[in-house]
Each structure stands twice: as structure tokens, then as C-alpha cells.
């Protein structure tokens, strides 16, 4: 019997999708102002004029990605005259990869064997016939900035959104780019305790049958998520607590179920690549550059770039990176060289441990 099996036709869930971290509520509560400001940057494009650019910043887990995606979805429902591109720069971190991805998103599939400039020509041809909105999420993860220069300089009607945890990021960028960017600054502050509570309650209304979330459980989860300053922690707790209560065959999420979830949350401390230790970051970097290699080869490469840990520690850190959703590790049993593990960089956007749940 699975955790989600319906017991006697009774289930806590009304819409299980609403517990999914990828789920974006139709209207993102508490972020109306930011969404309006983002929309204002885009609106001129609908009237055939150039749009405005924006630097969207704020700490992790405060709804930046969700809010911007919501704006894009609204735009998609409103018009066919504006091309929309959303890129996560943790995944696509070079100008070449970014252009390749933009081409794909614009519906141009023949990107193979094309050089960076050729890819940009394709983008230019498509976007300059209409207008374009470009969102570069986690933009601080890019390794070069040429793509920005090209987009800002050679596309006529566009709105470029740079999303980051660090508002200083832009200050260190080439002046030629900064002067062309002249962004609006859209700030996302941390949620207040009331807002955290409101968000969880709202999710409960979407996901669960009425009355399923007790106040005691809500308050316990709210306090913990508020302290963590990341609403993802709240989502994680909520999901875990709901599962714990289903597992216990309870019709409501009680304080004790919230507590089970909180205990679990404490076990997972990795948050973002930036929160990893230097050594682990270095290991992640080696994996990134040599994705798909055997663990033994990765260890050798790690040593070559000055890694100081033992093989055992290395394995343990790979394991931790896997649990954090940064890499995937697959054991190949009985290959030509006996059992080995192949390590890949995780392809799906999974910036936090908590997203795995
Ligand atoms: N106001 C809100 N109401 C409902 N859900 C929200 C709200 N804000 C954030 N969420 C949800 O919380 C999760 C984290 O939000 P999001 O991914 O947008 O954070 P972020 O600010 O982009 O963080 P990061 O800097 O780590 O990328 C998502 O699942 C999102 O749907
Ligand atoms: Mg984000």
C-alpha cells in the first residue's frame, strides 16, 4: 500500500499537484506589487515600443522565480506578438549554451553544429520581427556575459529580466552592458511571519480538503519556515506533514505530523550551491565539467585541481551532493571494470535539497 493510496475512498488531498514545488499558484499572493512592476516593463512591447529591463533581486525562496513565471504565463495568455524566453543560468551558464537554449525555446531546432554567432543570427531574425521578453534566472551563475551584450545591443524591442540573490552582481559587470541595461530594480524582501502563514494556508486550501490543516500544525510549520527565511522550507514541511498524517491514517494534519516534518527538515541543511563548503563546491565543479564520468576518474581530476580530501571523503561528498539534487550517481554493476559509479550533473533545475521532496 503506497503512501498515497486512498483508504476507504478517503484522502486528505484535493489537488495533490498544489503540493508540488513546481506548482505556481495562479495569483502569487504578496507579490502583486513586484508582478505589476515586471508587467510594466513588458507592457510597452505590446504597444510596439521597446520594453524596459529589470534587475530582480532578493534572498532564496522568496518567490522571485514563481512571480516572474506567473507574469510570463499571463503574457502568454494575452498575446502571440511577444516571444518569451526563460533561462536558468545555473543550467545554461555560457553564451553558447544560452543561445542554443533560446533557439530551442523560440522553436528553432536545427542548432546542431552551429557556432555562437550563427545561433544569435537566428535569434535576431526571429525576435526582431516581433518583440521579446528574456528572463535570465540565477544570472550570477553565468560564466561570461557576451550574451547580454548581444541581446541588449542588437535586439530592438525587448525586456530583459535578470534574477539574482545578489543585487551587487550587476555592479561588477562590464560598463558597456550596465549602461545598456539601465534596469528597474525590483526587490523581493523576505516574507513576514504572517505572510508565511498566509502562503501555507493558501496552499492548504488548494491542496487539501477543507479543515484538514489544524492551526497547531500550521503555527508550528510557520515558525520553523519563518526562521529558515525560505518559503521552500514551509512547502517541504507542509508536504511531509501531509504525508505523515496520511500515513497515520489521520484525516487532519496535527501538531505531531508537523513535528515529524520539522525533524526531517533539520536533517537536510544543504540549500544552494553557495552554501556548500569550498571543497564540495570544487567537487561539484569537477563533476560539472566532466559530467558522465566514473567516480574514480572524477576523484583523479579533483586531485589534479588541488583537491585535498581522501577518496572516502570524496565519495561521501558526492553522496551528499546527490541527496542535495546537485548530481546524480548511478551504480553500474558488473561492467568491464567491475562495479563503478557514473556521476552526472543534475539536469533538472533542483537548486535545493528541499526541492527533492
Ligand atoms: N507568495 C507565494 N505564494 C505561494 N507560493 C509561493 C510564494 N512565494 C514562493 N512560493 C513558492 O515557494 C517556492 C520557492 O519560490 P521561488 O522558487 O519563486 O523562490 P526564489 O525567490 O526564486 O528563490 P531562489 O533565489 O532560491 O531561486 C516555489 O515553489 C513557489 O511556488
Ligand atoms: Mg528562483
List per-residue pLDDT tens for the chain, 357 residues long. 321 233 444 455 566 666 665 555 566 889 999 999 999 999 999 999 999 999 999 998 899 999 999 899 889 888 899 999 999 998 899 999 999 999 999 999 999 999 999 999 999 999 999 999 999 999 998 999 999 999 999 999 999 999 999 888 998 899 999 999 999 999 999 999 999 999 999 888 888 888 999 999 999 999 999 988 888 889 889 999 999 999 999 999 999 999 999 988 876 654 556 667 788 889 999 998 898 999 999 999 999 988 888 898 899 889 888 877 788 888 887 666 677 889 998 764 444 444 433
Q: Which residues have CB under 6 Å of ligand 1?
A: 21, 24-25, 28-31, 58, 60-66, 165, 199, 231-232, 235, 351
- Domains along the chain? 16-22+191-267 (1.10.8.60), 32-187 (3.40.50.300), 273-356 (1.10.10.10)
pLDDT (0 to 100) of residue 20:
64
Q: Whose CA is nearest to atom 16 of ligand 1?
A: 63
pLDDT at 308: 87
| Residue from 231, 234, 274, 324 whose mutation best tests the ligand 1 pocket (most atoms within 8 A of CB) | 231
Residue with CA closest to ligand 1 atom 8: 63
DSSP run (H or E) holding 327: strand 327-335
Q: Which of 22, 90, 140, 232 to mutate to test the pocket of ligand 1 (most atoms within 8 A of CB)?
A: 232
Give every CB contact of residue 177 below 8 A, 6+ residues apart in sequence: 145, 148, 149, 152
Which contacts qualify for 219-224: CB closer than 8 Å, 24 or more apart?
220/255, 220/258, 220/259, 220/262, 221/258, 221/261, 221/262, 222/193, 222/196, 222/197, 223/193, 224/262, 224/265
Angle between helices 278-289 and 295-304 (to 10 degrees): 120
- pLDDT (0 to 100) of residue 31: 93
Which pLDDT belongs to residue 268?
Answer: 62
Span from the CA of 127 to the centroid of ligand 1 (angstroms): 29
Amino acid at each position: 500500500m503506497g503512501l498515497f493510496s486512498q483508504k476507504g475512498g478517503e484522502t486528505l488531498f484535493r489537488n495533490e499537484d498544489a503540493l508540488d514545488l513546481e506548482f505556481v499558484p495562479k495569483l502569487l499572493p504578496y507579490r502583486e506589487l513586484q508582478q505589476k512592476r515586471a508587467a510594466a516593463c513588458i507592457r510597452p512591447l505590446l504597444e510596439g515600443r521597446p520594453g524596459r529591463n529589470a534587475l530582480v533581486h532578493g534572498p532564496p525562496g522568496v518567490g522571485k522565480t514563481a512571480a516572474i513565471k506567473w507574469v510570463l504565463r499571463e503574457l502568454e495568455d494575452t498575446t502571440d506578438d511577444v516571444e518569451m524566453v526563460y533561462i536558468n543560468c545555473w543550467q545554461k551558464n555560457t553564451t553558447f549554451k544560452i543561445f542554443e537554449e533560446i533557439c530551442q525555446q523560440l522553436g528553432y531546432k536545427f542548432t546542431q553544429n552551429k557556432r555562437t554567432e550563427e545561433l544569435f543570427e537566428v535569434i535576431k531574425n526571429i525576435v526582431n520581427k516581433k518583440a521579446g521578453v528574456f528572463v535570465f534566472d540565477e544570472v550570477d551563475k553565468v560564466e561570461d556575459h557576451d550574451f547580454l551584450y548581444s541581446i541588449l545591443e542588437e535586439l530592438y524591442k525587448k525586456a530583459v529580466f535578470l534574477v539574482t540573490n545578489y543585487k551587487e552582481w550587476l555592479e561588477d559587470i562590464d560598463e558597456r552592458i550596465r549602461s545598456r541595461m539601465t534596469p528597474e530594480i525590483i526587490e523581493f524582501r523576505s516574507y513576514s511571519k504572517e505572510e508565511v502563514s498566509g502562503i501555507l494556508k493558501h496552499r492548504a486550501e488548494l491542496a487539501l480538503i477543507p479543515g484538514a490543516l489544524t492551526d497547531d500544525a500550521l503555527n508550528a510549520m510557520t515558525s520553523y519556515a519563518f526562521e529558515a527565511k525560505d518559503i521552500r522550507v514551509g512547502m517541504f514541511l507542509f508536504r511531509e506533514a501531509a504525508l505523515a498524517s496520511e500515513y497515520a491514517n489521520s484525516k487532519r494534519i496535527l501538531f505531531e505530523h508537523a513535528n515529524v516534518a520539522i525533524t526531517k527538515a533539520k536533517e537536510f541543511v544543504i540549500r544552494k550551491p553557495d552554501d556548500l563548503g569550498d571543497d564540495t563546491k570544487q567537487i561539484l565543479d569537477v563533476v560539472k565539467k566532466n559530467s558522465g564520468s566514473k567516480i574514480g576518474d572524477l576523484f583523479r581530476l579533483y586531485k589534479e585541481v588541488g583537491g585535498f580530501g581522501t577518496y572516502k571523503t570524496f565519495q561521501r561528498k558526492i553522496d551528499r551532493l546527490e541527496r542535495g539534487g546537485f548530481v546524480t550517481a548511478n551504480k553500474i554493476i558488473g561492467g568491464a571494470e567491475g562495479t563503478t559509479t557514473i556521476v552526472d550533473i543534475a539536469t533538472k533545475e533542483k537548486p535545493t535539497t528541499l526541492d527533492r521532496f
